[in-house]
Chain A
């Protein structure tokens, strides 16, 4: 393996040829913010929060996909980088509900003094986003900041889609497509600010090609895609992550040996994920592994009871 020498923020770094600038940064413990990047997916370079400055390059480059080259001189914290990242975060945060992004992302936003309110108060939610065509959205009235806020899509028993939280990172599209599931049930429709994740002809998930593996939920960084159980618990103000245990085990369906992480609150499974760093699943599951756990829940007459009611009862019993 050929090695490549470069300089990152004044530090000499030697890494293997073929790795990305992001890998090189991580090799010297310099973390970078990322939203659309995931180790298990091919980079799509859309979120632009990982951009860095490379000497001699006219534009900032996305560190998640740009391969290292010998002699590169890279700045990850220059004024230009900080300014660019700040504006990207501000535009995202002004138009999208980012309340559920992970902790590191929130820290990055704080460190860049992100101020989404500077574009004005958020415009009211709309319900016609799925019908819009390129160039058809009108001017926003009264100095409000345009948003993607819209009603939550609840069209099936297993998961919900809240696209007011969607930053169009493409991860769900990639996981549904040829990076993992190869079902191709969703894609990006529309252009510009009207772009959105959609099924074919905007049909509901059960009417479309979706096979309900939930691998889109597994990669969603903003909580736009969510287990219905989690959604209902959050609605009822009963979702308490700090009271949840996460236990790794092996799926009971078929003999492939997929690892599951069971998220348990009050002795009930409220969510199932899979570790991204495990060779069998790389974080991906099928409908049975992700949603087929109901048979170990305390059922009895509770079988048809909404999960939040069950959990409320469980709490009052304990």
Chain B
């Protein structure tokens, strides 16, 4: 955001902030240790607003739970902005100094009066108003989000709706105020930082910028393709269009993890050649022509990962990998050798030192400093730089340092998978405390609290459908159906059903989800599926 792809704040800041919005995040279950910091904030007097369709484990800690209808976040954010502007609570000094496009933004959000927003979101207008006033008048405030914001067909617009709120109130670029996207895996942030995204070189340098690209070409001694590549969802489209013929998959299980998995598997099956490098024989690996057994990055090899507070930390080898498994670095280096690249077999530290030359954000992060300081938060431009707890303080310089941050007015658009008489229930997805993504990692230990794969129903819907707890039911969407046991969950409102994502073998949620995806980020709309639930065997 505002030119850097990372959360703005440190975990420690949420311990002393005044107002916290947990928006589309059930951090209590999905990011438990972040939630420890948040809880300390609550004990210190912060007020917590949780925006979530479910009254989740996190929502139970809230001063106000805002039970939002799935996919209506933009309407809520715009309505809050409208309240803030109408009541004169916008931070005009900040807006005038550090932003552009306020007029157009004000015009857009004026289209979201409370009555309309209440109708779209299902949240009472006075609750929206109260939340808006709390956010705008807080000394410091943070908005924390995860996949409830980003797993939608309009993911990028959802994020922009939140960043607009921060710009409107000046809740960014100061200690305690910020925008915090919590990452789902230990190196989602690092993967992006390292340039493992189709449009960026390491350090978020635009691959289509000839000056930046030229600098990296000089270090690498090779030309770099000047156009950005495809993101994951585009790759699957290209599979189906026969434009993508070969695929090298590293540590990813798209046969299970992609929305509309039947369609995704067809795409993978249409390839001429697929290599899978993984520590597991995943569903995707089963389909591969070649499987390269890999070492686990966090326990069997050396390297770094980057957390949701931009902290680069070292992972270290504690175990010898099993059998013929090799580290990702060794596999890639050997492949490069076989292709005649002449890289040899560099150590993880040698690769990292090259990265420090390529990415100015990481230049000051030697392995020695990472060890001494318990990790360093980027940017860290040189070896005397301690790293930054929070970023974008430049927006508070008068006049603003660097380019001002633009408002991006966004309009609410309903989820793609429409509710109809035939598919009347809104299904959303999420995580259990003891589960992780497709479950191949978290399935390995014997958890005393494992619920397993179920469809969770509100007591009202269960009663209407005459479904008892534990009863096997059919869940049917426009793309497929699964048979799973029912669980009655009073945290769900009528009309809302829930499935966890961890149980592809017994409760394959992605046979149901829709592949509608956000054209800007490539994320699919895992969070909003239209389904109906029937008694099994009827």
Contact indicator A267/B320 (Cβ below 8 Å): yes
The one of B32, B186, B308, B317 that contacts A252, using a Cβ cutoff of 8 Å: B186
CA distance A209 to B384 in the complex (A): 47
CA distance A47 to B183 in the complex (A): 41
The one of A211, A280, A295 that contacts B11, using a Cβ cutoff of 8 Å: A280
Please report the total number of A residues contacting B with Cβ < 8 Å: 54
Which chain B residue lies CB-closest to A155? B448
- Report A240-263 CB contacts with B as 1/0, cut-off 8 Å: 000001011111111111111010
The one of A212, A280, A282, A299 that contacts B444, using a Cβ cutoff of 8 Å: A299
Which chain A residue lies CB-closest to B307? A257
Which chain A residue lies CB-closest to B436? A253
Instruction: Tell me if B296 is interfacial: C-beta within 8 Å of chain A.
Output: yes
Contact indicator B299/A262 (Cβ below 8 Å): yes
Given A257-B375, A295-B440, do A249 and B30 touch, yes or no (CB 8 Å)?
no
Chain A facing B: main interface SS: loop
Instruction: Tell me if A291 is interfacial: C-beta within 8 Å of chain B.
Output: yes
Measured CB to CB, the closest approach of chain A to B443, in angstroms, equals: 8
Contact indicator A254/B445 (Cβ below 8 Å): no
Note all chain B residues with C-beta closer than 8 A to A248: 314, 316
Contact indicator A254/B185 (Cβ below 8 Å): yes
B-binding segment of A57-65, A112-120, A175-183, A195-203: A175-183
Note all chain A residues with C-beta closer than 8 A to B386: none
Which chain B residue lies CB-closest to A157? B446
Note all chain A residues with C-beta closer than 8 A to B184: 254-255
- Report B3-33 CB contacts with A as 1/0, cut-off 8 Å: 0000000011000000000000000001111
Measured CB to CB, the closest approach of chain B to A158, in angstroms, equals: 6
Measured CB to CB, the closest approach of chain B to A286, in angstroms, equals: 4
Contact indicator B436/A292 (Cβ below 8 Å): yes
Note all chain A residues with C-beta closer than 8 A to B313: 250, 257, 259
Contact indicator B36/A255 (Cβ below 8 Å): no
Note all chain B residues with C-beta closer than 8 A to A268: 319
CA distance A158 to B436 in the complex (A): 18
Which chain A residue lies CB-closest to B30? A254
Measured CB to CB, the closest approach of chain B to A184, in angstroms, equals: 12
Instruction: Tell me if B252 is interfacial: C-beta within 8 Å of chain A.
Output: no
Instruction: Tell me if B447 is interfacial: C-beta within 8 Å of chain A.
Output: yes
Instruction: Tell me if A99 is interfacial: C-beta within 8 Å of chain B.
Output: no
A254-301 with Cβ < 8 A to chain B: 254-260, 262, 264, 267-269, 277-282, 284-289, 291-299
Contact indicator B307/A252 (Cβ below 8 Å): no
Which chain B residue lies CB-closest to A156? B448
Given A158-B448, A286-B433, A288-B436, do A247 and B186 touch, yes or no (CB 8 Å)?
no
Which chain A residue lies CB-closest to B296? A296
Note all chain A residues with C-beta closer than 8 A to B12: 279
Contact indicator B308/A250 (Cβ below 8 Å): no
Instruction: Tell me if A186 is interfacial: C-beta within 8 Å of chain B.
Output: no
CA distance A257 to B314 in the complex (A): 10
Given A211-B433, A292-B441, A296-B319, do A256 and B308 touch, yes or no (CB 8 Å)?
yes
Instruction: Tell me if B489 is interfacial: C-beta within 8 Å of chain A.
Output: no
Measured CB to CB, the closest approach of chain A to B44, in angstroms, equals: 11
Note all chain B residues with C-beta closer than 8 A to A279: 11-12, 374
Measured CB to CB, the closest approach of chain A to B444, in angstroms, equals: 3
B152-170 with Cβ < 8 A to chain A: none
Measured CB to CB, the closest approach of chain B to A216, in angstroms, equals: 14
Note all chain A residues with C-beta closer than 8 A to B436: 253-254, 288, 292
- Report A201-235 CB contacts with B as 1/0, cut-off 8 Å: 00001100011110000000000000000000000
Given A212-B449, A294-B445, do A287 and B440 touch, yes or no (CB 8 Å)?
no
Given A253-B186, A255-B182, A280-B311, do A264 and B446 touch, yes or no (CB 8 Å)?
no
Instruction: Tell me if B339 is interfacial: C-beta within 8 Å of chain A.
Output: no
Contact indicator A291/B318 (Cβ below 8 Å): no
Measured CB to CB, the closest approach of chain A to B524, in angstroms, equals: 19
Instruction: Tell me if B388 is interfacial: C-beta within 8 Å of chain A.
Output: no
- Report B298-327 CB contacts with A as 1/0, cut-off 8 Å: 111000011111010111111110100000
Note all chain B residues with C-beta closer than 8 A to A294: 444-446
Contact indicator B449/A206 (Cβ below 8 Å): yes
CA distance A293 to B299 in the complex (A): 9
- Report B119-149 CB contacts with A as 1/0, cut-off 8 Å: 0000000000000000000000000000000
Instruction: Tell me if B418 is interfacial: C-beta within 8 Å of chain A.
Output: no
CA distance A85 to B135 in the complex (A): 53
CA distance A252 to B301 in the complex (A): 12
Contact indicator B307/A280 (Cβ below 8 Å): yes
Contact indicator B307/A255 (Cβ below 8 Å): yes
Note all chain B residues with C-beta closer than 8 A to A298: 322
11 additional A-B pairs beyond A259-B313, A284-B33, beta carbons within 8 Å, are A249-B316, A252-B296, A255-B184, A255-B186, A256-B11, A257-B306, A262-B299, A268-B319, A277-B374, A292-B442, A295-B444
Contacts A/B (CB < 8 Å), 16 sampled: A205-B448, A247-B299, A249-B316, A253-B185, A255-B187, A256-B11, A256-B31, A257-B186, A262-B318, A267-B320, A287-B447, A292-B441, A293-B445, A295-B279, A295-B442, A295-B445
Which 5 residue pairs across A and B have the least CB separation, nearest first? A255-B183, A257-B307, A295-B444, A247-B318, A286-B32
B residues whose Cβ falls under 8 Å from a Cβ of A:
11-12, 30-34, 36, 39, 43, 182-189, 279-280, 296-300, 305-309, 311, 313-320, 322, 374-375, 433-434, 436, 440-449
